[in-house]
Structure 1
Amino acid sequence: MLHFLIATHGPLASALISSAKMVFGELQNTSCVSLTEEGGIEQFKQDFNTEIRDIASQVEGIVVLCDLECGTPYNIACTYAFDGSFPVPVEVVTGINFPTLLMTADFVEESDPASVAQTLQQEALNTIVVAKPVSVEQDDDF
Structure 2
Amino acid sequence: MISVIVASHGPLAGALLESAKMVYGELPYVHGVTLGETAGIEGFRHDFSRTLASASEGADGVLVLCDMQSGTPWNVACEYAFSPQTMPPVAVLAGVNLPMLLQTDDVRALQNVHAAAALLLELTQPTLVIAAPASVTQSDDF
TM-score higher than 0.5 here?
yes
**Correspondence list, 1:58-77, <5 A:** 58-77=58-77
Who is 1:4 aligned against?
4
Q: CA deviation at 1:87?
A: 1.6
**Partners of 2:129 and 2:138 in 1: CA distance:** 26
Who is 1:34 aligned against?
34
Q: Classify 1:113/1:138 alpha carbon distance in 2 versus 1 (closer, same or farther; 3 Å).
A: closer
Which structure 2 residue ranges, 5 or more long, are not aligned?
none
SS of alignment partner, residue 17 of structure 1 = helix
Conserved? CA contact 2:107–2:120, under 8 Å: no
Q: CA deviation at 1:137?
A: 4.5
Who is 2:112 aligned against?
112
Conserved? CA contact 2:4–2:55, under 8 Å: no
**Partners of 2:138 and 2:74 in 1: CA distance:** 51
Aligned partner of 1:82: which letter? F
Who is 2:24 aligned against?
24
| Larger mean Cα displacement after TM superposition, 118-127 or 7-16 | 118-127
Q: Classify 1:49/1:135 alpha carbon distance in 2 versus 1 (closer, same or farther; 3 Å).
A: same
**Partners of 1:38 and 1:123 in 2: CA distance:** 36
Conserved? CA contact 1:28–1:108, under 8 Å: no
Root mean square deviation, CA, Å: 1.4
Conserved? CA contact 2:103–2:124, under 8 Å: no
**Partners of 2:68 and 2:138 in 1: CA distance:** 46
The structure 1 segments of at least 4 consecutive aligned residues displaced by more than 4 Å after TM superposition are none
**Correspondence list, 1:64-103, <5 A:** 64-103=64-103
TM-score scaled by structure 2? Answer: 0.92
**Partners of 1:72 and 1:103 in 2: CA distance:** 24
Identity of aligned residues (%): 42
SS of alignment partner, residue 46 of structure 1 = helix
**Partners of 1:23 and 1:83 in 2: CA distance:** 35
SS of alignment partner, residue 3 of structure 1 = strand
Q: CA deviation at 1:138?
A: 7.3
**Partners of 2:137 and 2:56 in 1: CA distance:** 55
SS of alignment partner, residue 6 of structure 1 = strand
Conserved? CA contact 1:28–1:105, under 8 Å: no
